[in-house]
A and B are shown apart, each in its own frame.
Chain A
Amino acid sequence: MNGIVATRDLHFRYNGVEILSDITFNLEKGEFLGIVGPNGSGKTTLVRIILGLLKPTSGSVELFGTDTASFTEWQTIGYLPQKIGTLNPHFPATVEEIVSLGLISRRETRKAAAGKDRRAIDDAMALMDITAIRNKLIGELSGGQQQRVLIARALVSGPQLLILDEPTTALDPEGREKFFATLGDLNRNRTVTIIMITHDIGTIGQYASRLLYLDKKLVFYGGFDAFCTSGEMTSYFGEHSQHIICHRHSNR
Chain B
Amino acid sequence: MDLFDLFNHGFIQRALVAGSFIAVLCSTLGVFLVLRRLSLIGDGLAHVTFGSVAVGLLFQTYPFYVAVPIVMASALGIMKLIDKARLYGDAAIGIVSSMGIAGGVIIASAAGGFNVDLFSYLFGNILAINPTEVWIAAALSVCLVIVIFFYYHELMAITFDEESAKASGIKVARINRVLVLLTALTVVLAMKVVGIMLISALLIIPPVTAIQFSRGFKATIVISCAAGVICVIAGIMISYALDLPAGATIVTANFVLFISAFIFARLCSKDRP
Tell me if A105 and B214 are in contact (CB < 8 A). no
| Contact of B243 with A by CB under 8 A | no
| Contact of B17 with A by CB under 8 A | no
Q: Interface size of A by Cβ–Cβ distance < 8 Å?
A: 28
Tell me if B157 and A81 are in contact (CB < 8 A). no
If A90-B211, A91-B35, A91-B160 touch, whether A105 touches B216 (CB-CB below 8 Å) is no
If A74-B167, A74-B168, A91-B160 touch, whether A104 touches B154 (CB-CB below 8 Å) is yes
A residues near B214, Cβ cutoff 8 Å? 92
- Residues of chain B from 41 to 83 with CB closer than 8 A to chain A in the complex: none
| Contact of B217 with A by CB under 8 A | yes
Tell me if B217 and A53 are in contact (CB < 8 A). no
| Contact of B156 with A by CB under 8 A | yes
B residues near A51, Cβ cutoff 8 Å? 166-167
A residues near B166, Cβ cutoff 8 Å? 51-53
Residue of B nearest to A50 (CB): B167
Interface hub of B154, B166, B167 (most chain A Cβ within 10 A):
B167
Partner of B161, one of A81, A94, A103, A135: A81
B residues near A81, Cβ cutoff 8 Å? 161, 163-164, 167
Q: Interface size of B by Cβ–Cβ distance < 8 Å?
A: 25
| Contact of B215 with A by CB under 8 A | yes
Partner of A92, one of B153, B165, B170, B217: B217
B residues near A91, Cβ cutoff 8 Å? 35, 159-160
Tell me if B211 and A92 are in contact (CB < 8 A). yes
| Contact of B112 with A by CB under 8 A | no
| Contact of A114 with B by CB under 8 A | no
Cα–Cα, bound, A97→B221 (Å): 14
Partner of A105, one of B161, B170, B218, B219: B170
Tell me if A105 and B217 are in contact (CB < 8 A). no
Number of A-B contacts (CB under 8 A): 76
- Residues of chain B from 112 to 168 with CB closer than 8 A to chain A in the complex: 153-154, 156-157, 159-161, 163-168
Tell me if A77 and B156 are in contact (CB < 8 A). no
Tell me if A93 and B216 are in contact (CB < 8 A). yes
| Contact of B200 with A by CB under 8 A | no
Cα–Cα, bound, A79→B170 (Å): 13
Partner of B153, one of A83, A101, A135: A101
Cα–Cα, bound, A137→B272 (Å): 15
- Nearest Cβ distance between residue A96 and chain B, in whole angstroms? 8
| Contact of A7 with B by CB under 8 A | no
Cα–Cα, bound, A91→B164 (Å): 16
A residues near B165, Cβ cutoff 8 Å? 101, 104
If A101-B153, A104-B157 touch, whether A94 touches B216 (CB-CB below 8 Å) is yes
| Contact of B169 with A by CB under 8 A | yes
If A90-B211, A100-B153, A104-B157 touch, whether A77 touches B217 (CB-CB below 8 Å) is no
Tell me if A101 and B156 are in contact (CB < 8 A). yes
| Contact of B220 with A by CB under 8 A | yes
Tell me if B153 and A105 are in contact (CB < 8 A). no
Nearest 4 CB-CB pairs, A to B? A74-B169, A93-B217, A79-B167, A105-B168
Q: Chain A residues in contact with chain B, CB under 8 A?
A: 51-53, 72, 74-75, 77, 79, 81, 83, 87-88, 90-94, 97-98, 100-105, 135, 137, 153
